[in-house]
Structure 1
Amino acid sequence: MAKAHGYPGFPNQLQAATFDARLTLMLFAHMPIAPAEAARGGVWSFLACVVLPDVVRWRFGSVDSATSLERYLSGRRNTFQRLWWRAFYLGTRPHASYSVEQLVHALGEDELVQVTERPSLAGIEGLAAAVAAGMLDARIKYQGLARRHLMREAQKRLLRLSSFVSLESISAESLDQHVAQIFEKVAESFATT
């Protein structure tokens, strides 16, 4: 897979993004491990430091700089761990309109980080997929708005909403409605400024 995306030459931005999307889906499909096992750092450090260190260097290195240790060690920035968890969060309660594959390929890196790396929101079953789908729907409806601003402001509003609404307890349909309303309000606020 790395060779198909430019390995051993360092990847450009498009190659890196496409590689990450494909690897996300492959890891999740071929590593059917429980979340408790995925939370153990040794799994990911072993993959990055022993099995595929050359791929880590290729994906996050450059001719002029070394690869950060956080890409090898377990944690939110580990090359493989971050991708497996993305697929897990997006797939725990898949969205009715989008598959996990569609979401992974349609969202950019910053958007995926916003959806899957906020601890207070990412762990809510179905929320990551609802937010990703809501952002994609909003981007179609409001083409003039910057996706980055739309996503970041929606996440802030979701954090505030979670203080008043138990997002963990509502149905998938209600969750989708709340998320859609948030994206509508964000889009309206940008349209008036």
Structure 2
Amino acid sequence: MEDLERLADTDAEPMGLDRRLTEYEAWIWYAPSGGSVSPELVAEIQTEMTAIATRHGYPERASEKQKSSFDFDAAKWLAGHQHLASPELLRDDVWAFQTCVMLQELVVWRYSARQRARFAGGVRNTLQRLWMRGRTLDLGEEAGSRRWRLLEGLSEDAMVQIFERASIASDPNFARAIAEGWLTTADRIGRARMEDVMRRATKLLRLRNQIIDLSFLAPEELAAEVSLAFSRSSAGIPQVDPTDDVRDDKRPFMSRIGRAFRGTGVGRGSLSN
């Protein structure tokens, strides 16, 4: 972490792969998993993640939109790689190696050198969180162009509500059902109103899961339980105008101000009187 602090304050050239493995040798160990180390795979991950980040502004300061786009593309790549489907990827230290040693510059760029949780293994690790999201929300090649619609459609808050709760994230079917429920409800009431609704719905579903093990329900029964939770959580919230195809949270800020003025009558000649 001291190295990362220095990295954030200098414009030093990134270290090459071989030097990294030598520089941090004392902090790298290999679990007795029965497999073998693949330098080629490590190099491929480093190269591809850097290329994705570069497409979204790295190493310059990135906007929130660029960061979100990086998360989406990186999650797709990590989830779709045939050699990243091993149970070994469930180990936190595998991801800590990637973020602390192999891709430390990207973590500093995406967050900062001071956000330790983004380097440590776990649900907030910069890359581990993306791999978990991609693996869980991947609808498979048979879904065609809709394969990544859950990954692309959910807000960051919705992702956190799903993947930072072990009772939900540990069951991919449950997680996908909640994601579907979120998208359906967001289409009905608007994405901008979903934060509180999502929190209430996840609380209801986690309580329900204590009474009935939702993992044993048939897909249609699980979908019904999720739909009921979202309906109860959004009760009283009016539907969005179906003719308005731009959601509130994606509308430019000034556009939303103008829309509010139009709703009050301001701007229809009232200022000229």
Q: TM-score, normalised by structure 1?
A: 0.86
Aligned equivalent of 2:81: 30
Residues 1:184 and 2:194 aligned together: no
- Cα separation, partners in 2 of 1:145 and 1:8, compared to 1, 3 Å: closer
Aligned equivalent of 1:46: 97
Letter in 2 for 1:127: F
Aligned-residue CA RMSD (Å): 2.3
Aligned equivalent of 2:42: none
Identity rate, percent: 32
Q: 1:84-121 deviations in whole A, cap 9, x for unaligned?
A: 11122324899x8x945111111111110111221112
Partner of residue 181 from structure 2, selected from 134, 146, 169: 134
> How many Å separate the matches in 2 of 1:112 and 1:81?
13
TM-superposed deviation, 1:183: 0.9
Aligned equivalent of 1:90: 137
Partner of residue 206 from structure 2, selected from 159, 167, 171: 159
8 Å contact from structure 2 (residues 100, 119) kept in 1: yes
Residues 1:168 and 2:219 aligned together: no
> How many Å separate the matches in 2 of 1:49 and 1:10?
20
TM-superposed deviation, 1:143: 2.9
Residues 1:8 and 2:59 aligned together: yes
**Higher relative contact order, structure no. (Cα contacts within 8 Å, ≥ 6 residues apart):** 1
Q: Which moved more, 1:15-24 or 1:43-52?
A: 43-52
Letter in 2 for 1:78: N
> How many Å separate the matches in 2 of 1:147 and 1:172?
24
TM-superposed deviation, 1:67: 3.3
Partner of residue 153 from structure 2, selected from 78, 100, 106: 106
Which contiguous aligned blocks of 4+ residues in structure 1 show a shift greater than 6 angstroms?
A: none
Partner of residue 58 from structure 1, selected from 99, 109, 116: 109
> How many Å separate the matches in 1 of 2:127 and 2:191?
34
> How many Å separate the matches in 1 of 2:154 and 2:229?
18
- When the two structures are aligned, how many residues end up with a matched partner? 185
Larger Rg: 2
Letter in 2 for 1:103: L
TM-superposed deviation, 1:127: 1.0
- Cα separation, partners in 2 of 1:181 and 1:93, compared to 1, 3 Å: farther
Aligned equivalent of 2:253: none
Q: 1:12-67 deviations in whole A, cap 9, x for unaligned?
A: 11111111111111111126444631221221112112221111111112xxxx43
> How many Å separate the matches in 1 of 2:79 and 2:140?
15
Q: 1:153-179 deviations in whole A, cap 9, x for unaligned?
A: 110110111111111101111111111
Aligned equivalent of 2:126: 79
**SS of alignment partner, residue 185 of structure 2:** helix
> How many Å separate the matches in 2 of 1:85 and 1:144?
23
Structure 1 gaps of 5+ residues are: none
